[in-house]
Amino acid sequence: MEKVGFLYNSTVCIACGACQLACQGAHGLGSGEYFRRVVLRPVGGGKETAFSGGCNHCAHPACVAACPTGAMYRDEEKGVVLHDDGRCIGCGCCVWNCPYGAVSLSATAGVAQKCDSCVDRRSQGLEPFCVAACPMGALRWRDPPPKEPGWKQLSAPFLPEPGRTDPSTMARFPGEEEEEQDG
């Protein structure tokens, strides 16, 4: 299967948080619980960029490797990382090992929780809630990978090296357009 995943364009993101709130509401998450978080991150030279981060549905997910029960797993057919609440013991190994901070423990259920890319919605031909809520089109779901140039595997000065987990998210950050034209 070709890689599927999110496309995130920081160059048009206004950090409004609509994606974060839509996801939180759709999944009935409690106060302070999120599957997607919007933050401002430093990029150098005293500048910041918006970042909408969630599960990157990595090809080699550290959360899956760390899970002692198999509750966190990669569904190869769907191309995403999923979680089985019934097998989770709430130990937090996945939380500590995800280099993107995309997994958390539910304060109410006592198990790990994370983005599943709205896999049920997508099976109905609908976009993930976060994508549907983005007023700028900064967040999209790709299936298959985009054909337009300029998209790179998720990589930024404030993120871990992508070679470690092989994240499925592709992104554009400010300054990359100039790099492409210069190269």
Residues 87-109 have pLDDT tens digits of 999 999 999 999 999 999 998 88
Domain assignment of residue 129, given as a range:
5-182
Cβ atoms of 123 and 11 within 8 Å: the answer is no
pLDDT in tens, 44-53: 788 888 889 9
**What pLDDT, on the 0 to 100 scale, is given for residue 43?**
76
Q: What is the mean pLDDT of residues 18-36?
A: 94
pTM: 0.87
* CATH classification of the domain holding 32: 3.30.70.20
Of 90-94, 112-116, 164-168, the least confident? 164-168
Report the domain count for the chain: 1
Q: Across residues 139-143, what is the average pLDDT?
A: 86
Token pair of 53 as six digits = 């981060």
Strands (E), 45-182: 47-53, 72-75, 80-83, 104-105, 112-113, 139-142, 152-153, 170-172
pLDDT > 90 fraction of the chain, expressed in percent and rounded: 61
